[in-house]
Structure 1
């Protein structure tokens, strides 16, 4: 799962809060400007899973397959067709005639090189989507053959994830990875890099050699601008200095809706806001203490208080936007009396609980609400404020008791989600909760091998039932992506995969 999962993978210090006066002239007709708190820190698609980089990779690097932005269906991209063997172990991809941004041909060798970097390079940030691969080979310049160790139902969808973009083997081998991706990389996607000013902005221009004829639809230059302050981002949008504002705060929505030339959209997401519980040490190594902590939380009221009702209360440990989410599961009922009883039975009454929190508004709000509700049942919660680096360090080492955060799933298929958040033997320590259940781990493996959708649905329903009832983590709410757009643009949106549909965007006024 993109290991931005808690989306704290970007460091706050990397974000430059530019004043609006420092930005280029407002509303130029030949520019599309997107402002976001999430920075671009590398142009190498295998090196980072941070939110800003994911958005950037989608513009620079094409993949074998692409997902239709309207239907969500997988469609041909660099691969114009593919064939799956009868035993579901061999995938053969036939490449179309395409070129990189420098005009050189994209060949099977480039595909093999790109996928092998992700799969085997020690600097690869996220190799999990290719974990089932046995080998990748070029049968000829236009044919790629991928063999799997065992049947793996989510495989095709995994090839569309953000880090599966195809890079130029010749460029990387000639210049070395650091230089090849340092400033003006050779790209295969809809855009090429014109200029990169780290901590400020990335300037993109249409790739004249992009495989989709007639795309990008607009010949406008694109600027991805980094602004830390939510208020500054919105002020720039309202002033016409930018066209899109990412990460709109819940409290800003009503004001933006009143703006004449701005449209606020709640776009579908696979995000879940939740609370990590450290299953490795007391009090939450005790399942009844975890159940008590979960029963003490009124997540419906919390959702309304934090998101002003724009999000949906979560009912299971999986995001509501993934396939096979069990919408009929009752969730964890809010019951203070039951919570007190469970805590008493656990023997953990009066125990101190260190709630790790970063300085973000939502994180602070959530930590305060957790503190109040856990105090009410007899725990002694203490909020420990840290920066994002310390947050990741402490949760990774298990040096915390609870921590509110969020994560998302890169694809509709839930395989990566359960491997990231719920599987004790999959390498992520169940997203640093250290939750382990042998039955859940077995079901995770069963889910990847089962090709019948109905049977897969039952497998993931059981995973959700077990992990929710054992409170591997506390599900809080499912938020949409709140994005604000200038009405001068059409065709652009943010997909659940955190990819912009910039190549479809046009300027209407």
Structure 2
């Protein structure tokens, strides 16, 4: 899904070939994240997610207003009980000129659900059967009523690939002469350096893309990305360091809109061992956390302090929730009630400046209520192994949600029976797990809103994790282009981007 593990930075710096005349008119985007594969089924890392959205169209798409809109499916009908979705496909072609048919759709969705190498099958797990009624009609039968499913058809790995091509060429179909269904084709891919995209002349959206293609350039160093933005060598850059946001904003040729994201920073507490197996100790740790001060210190005030276990860009997020807020006196009382024995806990982190800064603040804030903590740094691989095996006491980290529907989010972060022990904390409330399923099965929006409000209230009160802050996307853009933004689900609006005349 979604954690830092799936969004690891490129390990080494790349050689930059700025100013290549062959690609001078292309939109140049610098990112620390690698494109590791061109197969939309095989990766859930950030760089690949951004790439998949450019190469493969999905049945539905998020429009400019943030609403779910027709994609390859021009219309759809839902049965009265919500378990059967019938989609009518528009006339569309792959980049090789072959028609996109219902057989391609069925093949693509079941490939995500059933292939052992599928990196993220979760969005398709409620799908029971996928059938091609005819060349332009797809019938999807769900295992049960599942309100979020339409939105899951817009998830990054639900892009439609050519059944004929993949079956004929296997893995080569995503390496050599890639057949795409989205706005772009692959002009050239240099792994660990850049992906060069060319417009797909057979793209179904008439008049799109509105540019001559793009270069997705991997630039590990944040200082390099910033200097290239300031010098005009890039049209956009991902993840400007918080300490340099003000400098970039002050440049008359650049803008930083700080777009909403579904990302949330949290402190995970291991509830399988003392002291955080005690809810009072967890509540004490939460109330000792001055999230406003942390957001100010780490992000220079660019992120909002978090109040809920759900990201604030999701549907049904509750901005009015106020539980376990910063209160040192209440935290000290809760810690005394917990019977904390003074044992030293370990805050496990990777060797990243932001993570270390968060850990130092946690350590200092907890010290004010008597929690003794030391910080232990480790490499990313070891960190992930220890986290998943429950070999830690506490850690600051983050996650994001692929859609704006909260279903995948609650299954990832607070559900004890959904496969990852509530983001490896061991938090487990059977009533919450029942509510997770009830929220997915409820078709009435008002009733769904109440269910997710209750989930947020319970899990924040019981401290499934400690919400820290909600960061926006710290992306920079040249004023020489228009139309480029990043959606909350890590998708560039690249096809709508054009140069200012």
Shared fold per TM-score greater than 0.5 = yes
Residue 39 (structure 2) aligns with: 44
Contact 1:15 1:37 in 2 (8 A): no
1:93 aligns with 2:87: yes
- The equivalences for 1:249-398 within 5 A come to 249-398=241-390
Residue 464 (structure 2) aligns with: 472
Residue 200 (structure 2) aligns with: 207
Q: 2:427 aligns with which of 424, 435, 446?
A: 435
Over 3 Å counting, the alpha-carbon distance change for 1:8 and 1:261 in structure 2 is same
Q: How much has 1:201 moved relative to structure 2?
A: 0.6
The 2-side partners of 1:26 and 1:470 are apart by 58
Contact 1:55 1:499 in 2 (8 A): yes
Residue 76 (structure 2) aligns with: 82
Q: How much has 1:242 moved relative to structure 2?
A: 1.0
The 2-side partners of 1:9 and 1:108 are apart by 31
Residue 18 (structure 1) aligns with: 14
1:163-199: CA deviation from partner (whole Å, max 9, x where unpaired): 10001111111111x2221243211000011111111
Q: How much has 1:433 moved relative to structure 2?
A: 1.1
Stretch of structure 1 that moved more, 352-361 or 152-161:
352-361
Contact 2:126 2:143 in 1 (8 A): yes
Structure 1: runs of 5+ lacking an equivalent: none
The 2-side partners of 1:369 and 1:252 are apart by 21
Residue 408 (structure 1) aligns with: 400
The 1-side partners of 2:394 and 2:21 are apart by 44
Q: How much has 1:348 moved relative to structure 2?
A: 2.3
Q: How much has 1:8 moved relative to structure 2?
A: 3.1
SS in 2 for 1:203: strand
Q: How much has 1:7 moved relative to structure 2?
A: 2.6
SS in 1 for 2:87: strand
Over 3 Å counting, the alpha-carbon distance change for 1:255 and 1:144 in structure 2 is same
Residue 174 (structure 2) aligns with: 181
The 2-side partners of 1:346 and 1:183 are apart by 60
SS in 1 for 2:29: strand
The 2-side partners of 1:453 and 1:26 are apart by 52
Q: Name the TM-score, length of structure 1 as normaliser.
A: 0.96
- The equivalences for 1:71-220 within 5 A come to 71-176=65-170, 178-218=171-211, 220=212
Over 3 Å counting, the alpha-carbon distance change for 1:27 and 1:249 in structure 2 is farther
The 2-side partners of 1:400 and 1:183 are apart by 43
The 2-side partners of 1:221 and 1:83 are apart by 35
SS in 2 for 1:138: strand
1:68 aligns with 2:63: yes
1:338-373: CA deviation from partner (whole Å, max 9, x where unpaired): 222222222223122111111222111101101111
The 2-side partners of 1:133 and 1:221 are apart by 35
Over 3 Å counting, the alpha-carbon distance change for 1:183 and 1:259 in structure 2 is farther
| RMSD between aligned residues | 1.5
SS in 2 for 1:202: strand
Q: How much has 1:263 moved relative to structure 2?
A: 1.2
Q: How much has 1:10 moved relative to structure 2?
A: 3.8
1:194-230: CA deviation from partner (whole Å, max 9, x where unpaired): 1111111111100111111110011x23110111111
Residue 233 (structure 2) aligns with: 241
Q: How much has 1:249 moved relative to structure 2?
A: 1.2
Q: How much has 1:75 moved relative to structure 2?
A: 1.1
The 1-side partners of 2:91 and 2:303 are apart by 44
The 1-side partners of 2:344 and 2:132 are apart by 58
Q: Name the TM-score, length of structure 2 as normaliser.
A: 0.97
The 1-side partners of 2:404 and 2:33 are apart by 23
1:6 aligns with 2:3: yes
Residue 35 (structure 1) aligns with: 30
The 2-side partners of 1:182 and 1:28 are apart by 21
Q: How much has 1:29 moved relative to structure 2?
A: 4.8
SS in 2 for 1:362: helix
